[in-house]
């Protein structure tokens, strides 16, 4: 044995690839571009990620982890009140969507690019959306309002709109609009 493998290489490659995938779209980015951006050899890339699908799957899984981390951070220290948690959830998305290089929800963008994808990346993307929707449903259910289904549908619609407006000039306005509208909806139900 002579050298020890660089431990951060996998994460470095994944970060470079993720930036490219997110900015330009998955299909638009070739493996050679990933290699150039990561500054690694083909060997190393294909050792860590045997195929592009594996790399894309890892990219989406990373996005999910990041989203969950951000969501947990936004909820931290808050009282376990469903209304407060819902407001924080939407506010966190709104804040994320206001970032200058925000181009939209990575999962929705992926599904827009690969509509019927039955592979692992598509599964990861759909799972995330399903689980996020379920999270909102659970919070709304705890509110004890008369029609939780309707309210959850409305909040979900607003979240979709928030993500949909991303990357266009309306993004900043959409963020304020979404938080304000959710606030109003919650206030009206109380």
Work out how close the CB of 22 gets to a copy of itself at its nearest, in angstroms, rounded to a whole number: 9
Question: Between 110 and 163, whose beta carbon lies closer to DNA?
Answer: 110
Beta carbon of residue 43, minimum distance to DNA (angstroms, whole number): 4
The nearer residue to a copy of itself, 58 or 178, going by C-beta atoms, is: 178
Q: Which is nearer to DNA, 2 or 187 (CB)?
A: 2
Lookup result for tokens 């306005």: 173
Q: Which of residues 17-56 bind a copy of itself (CB under 8 A)?
A: 23-25, 27-28
Determine, following the binding rule CB under 8 A, whether residue 123 of this chain makes contact with a copy of itself.
no
Give the Cα separation of 38 and 10 in Å (integer).
10
CA dist 162 and 108 (Å) reads 12
For binding to DNA (CB under 7 A), which residues are involved? Answer: 1-6, 9, 29-33, 39-44, 46-47, 50-53
CB of 103 to a copy of itself, least distance (A): 6
* Token code pair at residue 3: 């050298």
Alpha helices in the chain (DSSP H): 9-24, 31-38, 42-48, 52-75, 82-98, 106-113, 120-143, 148-164, 171-189
Residue with tokens 């690694």: 40
66 CB contacts (<8 Å, ≥6 apart)? none
Least separation in angstroms between CB 6 and DNA: 4
Asked if residues 121 and 56 have their Cβ atoms less than 8 Å apart, the reply is: yes
Contact footprint for a copy of itself (CB under 8 A): 23-25, 27-28, 103-104, 108-109, 111-116, 126, 129, 133, 150, 153-154, 156-165, 167-168, 170, 173-174, 176-178, 180-181
């Amino acid at each position: 044995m002579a050298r020890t493998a660089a431990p951060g290489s996998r994460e470095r490659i994944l970060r470079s690839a993720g930036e490219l995938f997110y900015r330009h779209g998955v299909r638009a980015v070739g493996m050679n571009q990933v290699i150039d951006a990561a500054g690694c050899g083909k060997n190393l890339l294909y050792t860590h990620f045997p195929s592009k699908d594996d790399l894309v799957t890892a990219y989406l899984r990373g996005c999910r982890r990041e989203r969950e981390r951000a969501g947990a951070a936004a909820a931290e220290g808050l009282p376990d009140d469903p209304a407060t948690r819902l407001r924080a959830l939407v506010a966190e998305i709104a804040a994320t969507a206001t970032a200058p290089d925000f181009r939209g929800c990575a999962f929705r963008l992926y599904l827009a690019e690969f509509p019927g994808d039955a592979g692992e990346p598509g599964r990861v993307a759909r799972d995330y959306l399903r689980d996020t929707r379920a999270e909102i449903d659970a919070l709304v259910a705890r509110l004890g309002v008369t029609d939780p289904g309707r309210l959850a549908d409305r909040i979900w619609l607003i979240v979709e709109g928030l993500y949909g407006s991303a990357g266009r000039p309306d993004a900043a306005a959409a963020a304020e609009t979404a938080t304000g509208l959710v606030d109003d909806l919650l206030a009206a139900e109380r």
